[in-house]
Chains A and B, each alone.
Chain A
Amino acid sequence: MPIRRPQISLSALGGGEGRGEVGEIQASPDRTAHLTLPVADATGPLPLPPQAGGEGKLGGYRPTRRWILVAAAGAGLPSLAPKATATEATLAEAIRELTGEAPLERGRVTLELPSIVENGNAVPLTVSVESPMTEADHVEAIHIFNQKNPQPYVAAFHLGPRAGKARVSTRIRLADSQRVVAIARLNDGSFWSDSADVIVTLAACTEQ
């Protein structure tokens, strides 16, 4: 995250009118009139809505304006979604909480989800894991995570050799088009995963 932020903010500054402002500050810091002008323009056309306009009225706060640009660019996703939602970060955190230091390997797990869902209120989901399901080699648990629901957890299924086969089905809610991740924990302590991207046309959970 700390690496990504400057990258995004830099491109925003370079692409928009930010570059011009930086130049002006360096050349002559006392040209306040010039500095307010581009901001007044900025409220008119595309790029930065209320923050830049409100900032322009303050006039003198040149570094602050840049910080707001940086903040708006860097924190773009959270500010667009004011509700508390699971994000890539909370998803990664939830997965790390489960796996700890153990590596997460791809394969063995098959996550079946429709790729386009009309109604996010009930999305059929099936997870199966390639495993002989014997006492010596079996799946202990299957965890389901999501990327954009209000919380990253969906379900955790605990099974063992008596299951015969590692295959579980349920129906889940999806609040947005997003990625769903299934992780299987084997009795030898290894973790295997699969993920699926789903496009949801009618969202669930927070609507209504």
Chain B
Amino acid sequence: MARVLINLPERAKRGEIIEIKTLLQHPMETGYRLDSNGAKIPRDIVNLFACTYNGEEVFRAELFPAIAANPFIAFSTIATESDELVFSWTDDDGQTRTETRKIIVE
């Protein structure tokens, strides 16, 4: 898996609702397309995305082939305390890409 873009504020007030935008570079191959020889291109998608904050899961998404390539997911969470947010994407092979971002809560 390749590049990841994560957009969230560096600082937030305690109790503030922050918006998080994530994008992972991934073909999200549906398994329904044919290659130039007419053979099916095997399915290869990210089927699970999760975000934990302070070790607790705050958001999880099950994804299907109907999600566009380079899956973009935006959601929100409440800034509770200065800690790490861990984002993870799991693909069909069970491989997981993990990214960590810090947030300062005042």
Chain B residues in 8 Å Cβ range of A121: 68-69
Chain A residues in 8 Å Cβ range of B59: 157-159, 163
Chain B residues in 8 Å Cβ range of A151: 64-66
User: How far is B12's CA from A200's CA once the two chains are assembled, in angstroms?
Assistant: 40
Q: Are A165 and B17 in contact (CB under 8 A)?
A: yes
Chain A residues in 8 Å Cβ range of B73: 168-170
Chain B residues in 8 Å Cβ range of A171: 67-68, 71-72
Q: Which listed segment binds A: B2-10, B74-82, B86-94, B98-106?
A: B74-82
Chain A residues in 8 Å Cβ range of B58: 159-160, 162-163
Chain B residues in 8 Å Cβ range of A174: 66
Q: Are B74 and A170 in contact (CB under 8 A)?
A: yes
Chain B residues in 8 Å Cβ range of A122: 68-69
Chain B contact residue count (CB 8 A cutoff): 30
Within the complex, what minimum Cβ distance (angstroms) separates A110 from chain B?
Answer: 15
Chain A residues in 8 Å Cβ range of B62: 155-158
On whether A154 and B64 interact (CB within 8 A), knowing A121-B69, A159-B75, the answer reads: yes
Chain A contact residue count (CB 8 A cutoff): 32
Chain A residues in 8 Å Cβ range of B66: 146, 149, 151, 153-155, 172-174, 205
| Set B17, B21, B53, B65: member contacting A173, Cβ < 8 A | B65
Chain B residues in 8 Å Cβ range of A205: 30, 32-33, 65-66
Binding site for A on B (CB under 8 A): 17-18, 21, 30, 32-34, 53, 56, 58-69, 71-78, 80
User: How far is B18's CA from A163's CA once the two chains are assembled, in angstroms?
Assistant: 9
Q: Are A167 and B76 in contact (CB under 8 A)?
A: yes
| A-B contact list, 23 entries, CB within 8 Å | A121-B68, A149-B66, A150-B65, A154-B66, A154-B67, A156-B62, A157-B59, A157-B60, A157-B75, A158-B59, A158-B61, A158-B62, A160-B58, A164-B76, A164-B78, A168-B61, A168-B75, A170-B72, A171-B72, A172-B67, A205-B30, A206-B30, A208-B33
Chain A residues in 8 Å Cβ range of B68: 121-123, 170-173, 204
Q: Are B67 and A155 in contact (CB under 8 A)?
A: yes
User: How far is B18's CA from A165's CA once the two chains are assembled, in angstroms?
Assistant: 10
Q: Are A158 and B60 in contact (CB under 8 A)?
A: yes
Which of chain B's residues has its CB closest to A84's CB?
B32
Chain B residues in 8 Å Cβ range of A164: 17-18, 76-78
